[in-house]
Amino acid sequence: MEYIDLRSDTVTKPTPEMREAMAEAEVGDDVYGDDPTLNRLEELAADMLGKEAAVFVPSGTMGNLIALLVHCQRGDEAIVGYKSHIYLNEAGGMSALGGIQAHPLQNQKDGTLPLDEILASIRPEDVHQPITRLICLENTQNICGGIPLTAQYTNQVAEIARQNNLSLHIDGARIFNSAAAQNVDVKELVAPADSVMFCLSKGLASPIGSMLVGTKKFIARARHIRKMLGGGMRQVGVIAAAGIISLEKMTKRLGDDHARAKKLADGLKNVKGIVLDDDTPFTNMIYFNLADHVPFDEKALCEKMLKRDIMIDWAGARRIRLVTHYWVDDRAVNKTVSAFEEVFGDKNN
């Protein structure tokens, strides 16, 4: 059975070109540093983001954790968004494995953290309090609707960090979506950051992996912690071959995913019972709530759509997120809209 899968862009499978490149990849032992394909990927990632060096990690969660562990000592504090992936969706790793305390701030509707609140959250020198070491931003901001953060805002946060001797880390899982949505070079979005993590395995369609970039000194320490966490791998060029295609080609087509998200949202506007967060999606994500009169809940809706060969996922009570990606074409968008119309128009719901 071939399903239309809108649960996330993490469900993307490697393209035929990626599979061919993976099969033919020249490999070596990465722990020894002699996997030529991975070395090329890391050099490409660092260059594209304007940083000195990069390291491949199995997942974005590990990449963010490594960054936190490099920037912070046990007992230190990191300022994060209360809707951020680091705070909500990484199993409490920063505290459990790093002994790092989160200082969550409320994300505004545009995904940003208020500048005055960031400044007010920086701890003074006080023996009773943890030491503030790090500010973390997420771009795009997933739970706020996949909204991109601007370079101007990031620069303002970075200035606060510099003035207070703090580091700035960007969870850029979908940073290339942000760049595509704003029609800017990704380097501009991350220029002031001390470290950036971005995913290859979401909208860029690689089967596995993320990249962590920063200074040579930062990445040297990151490699040590990656090994500690069990992330040191061997002939990983098999995977890196797909990652190179992700960076060289897949980054250039993300606008197609955004256009299809808009087309999908346009189709859902007129479905009675669906309350969209935004008529026009910011990137490749659509969030909506079920209207009060709808007699079924979010889990029942997922089941009804699955019966129509469409996979969706709930994002909270009576709340749904849809995500477009490489494997969602115009036909899939049209079929999805028709399925929603059928489900919400059925008097026997």
Cα separation, 147 vs 152, whole angstroms: 15
pLDDT of residue 334: 97
Q: What is the pLDDT of residue 48?
A: 98
Q: Angle at Cα 141 formed by Cα 184 and Cα 94, nearest 5°?
A: 120
Nearest to 168 by CA among 201, 128, 137: 137
Closest CA to 230 of 98, 59, 76, 94: 59
Write down the pTM of the prediction. Answer: 0.96
Q: What is the pLDDT of residue 349?
A: 54
3-class DSSP state for residue 285?
A: strand
- Write the pLDDT tens digit of every residue in 138-173: 999 999 999 999 999 999 999 999 999 999 999 999
Q: What are the domain boundaries of the chain?
A: 4-9+253-345, 14-250
Query: Which runs of E-coded beta strand occur in 3-160?
Result: 4-5, 53-57, 77-81, 101-105, 132-138
d(CA 283, CA 262): 8
Domain 14-250 architecture? 3-Layer(aba) Sandwich (3.40)
Hey, which bits of the chain come out as E strands? 4-5, 53-57, 77-81, 101-105, 132-138, 167-171, 195-199, 210-214, 274-276, 285-290, 310-311, 313-316, 319-323
- CATH class for the domain made up of 4-9+253-345: alpha beta
pLDDT of residue 279: 83
Rounded Cα gap, residues 44 and 42, in angstroms? 5
What is the percent of the chain with per-residue pLDDT over 90, rounded to a whole number? 98
pLDDT, tens digit (0-9, with 9 covering 90-100), for 230-259: 999 999 999 999 999 999 999 999 999 999
Give the pairing type, strands 132-138 and 77-81. parallel
